[in-house]
Amino acid sequence: MRIFAKIKWIAGILLVFFIVLVTNLIDRDNFNRLSYSVTTLYEDRIVASDIIFKISRIVKEKQLAALTSDTLFFQNKNPLLNQEIDQLISNFNLTKLTEKEDRLFDQLQNELGTLQQKEVSLAQSSNKEVLKSIEKIDEYLYKLSEIQLLESKQQVFISNRAIDTVNFYTQIEIILLIVMAILVQIIILYKPKE
């Protein structure tokens, strides 16, 4: 094999290697973005929404007990519910929070602490104070739930954008592979005049 033929073969192989390498790197980057977005959607948004729902359910149970002045509830069941809320708060802390979400979560924690203090001294405080605290907690839970929805929407947008990018680059890859095949054929079959 002459040197010019060897150079043509090397150029053809390097061209194939370069195209495969570049497309692989682009696909891997898009796959990582898509994977991160889906993971975030579950771990930080769906789990957080579930925690908010569970806290809301417990708070509604407390509200009903306060409205009916159920002192047995506050003596017997309420301490267990407070432990459950503490566990849910710990779980919520493990999710990734936005700045606004972090502020609201701090306010929610403070108000939950206030509610627990009012429940302990329910004999001294009125049901109105407990109910007022529960209303604030409901408001914080509602706002946190709205954030979950907005952040989920953002993650879906990121996922869709990554999918669109993958589709676009897949079409470009097909076109480049066709062009590359033609170039390799030209390089290999081309015989210069001697």
In angstroms, the CA 194 to CA 182 distance is 24
Instruction: Give the chain's count of helices (H) and strands (E).
Output: 6, 0
Is residue 160 scored above 70 in pLDDT?
yes
Domain assignment of residue 22, yes or no? yes
Domain assignment of residue 194, yes or no? no
Domain assignment of residue 12, yes or no? yes
Domain assignment of residue 17, yes or no? yes
Which domain CATH number covers 108?
1.20.120
Domain assignment of residue 104, yes or no? yes
Angle between helices 78-93 and 99-120 (to 10 degrees): 160
Cα-Cα-Cα-Cα dihedral of 72, 78, 80, 86, to 10°? -170
Q: How confident is the model at residue 143 (pLDDT cuts 50, 70, 90)?
A: very high
Cα-Cα-Cα-Cα dihedral of 55, 61, 63, 69, to 10°? -150
Structurally, the chain folds into a number of domains equal to: 1
Domain assignment of residue 11, yes or no? yes
Check if the beta carbon of residue 169 is closer than 8 Å to that of residue 23: yes
Q: Which two tokens stand for residue 100?
A: 């606004």
Is residue 38 scored above 80 in pLDDT?
no
Q: How confident is the model at residue 157 (pLDDT cuts 50, 70, 90)?
A: confident
| Angle 74-65-108 from CA coordinates, rounded to 5° | 80
Domain assignment of residue 106, yes or no? yes
Q: How many CB atoms lie within 10 A of CB 58?
A: 19
Alpha helices in 41-126 (DSSP H): 47-67, 71-72, 78-93, 99-120
Residue 9: which domain range? 3-189
Residue 29 CA from chain centroid, whole number = 18
Give whichever of 7-16, 50-59, 62-71 has the largest mean pLDDT. Answer: 50-59
Q: Which two tokens stand for residue 172?
A: 């470009």
Domain assignment of residue 28, yes or no? yes
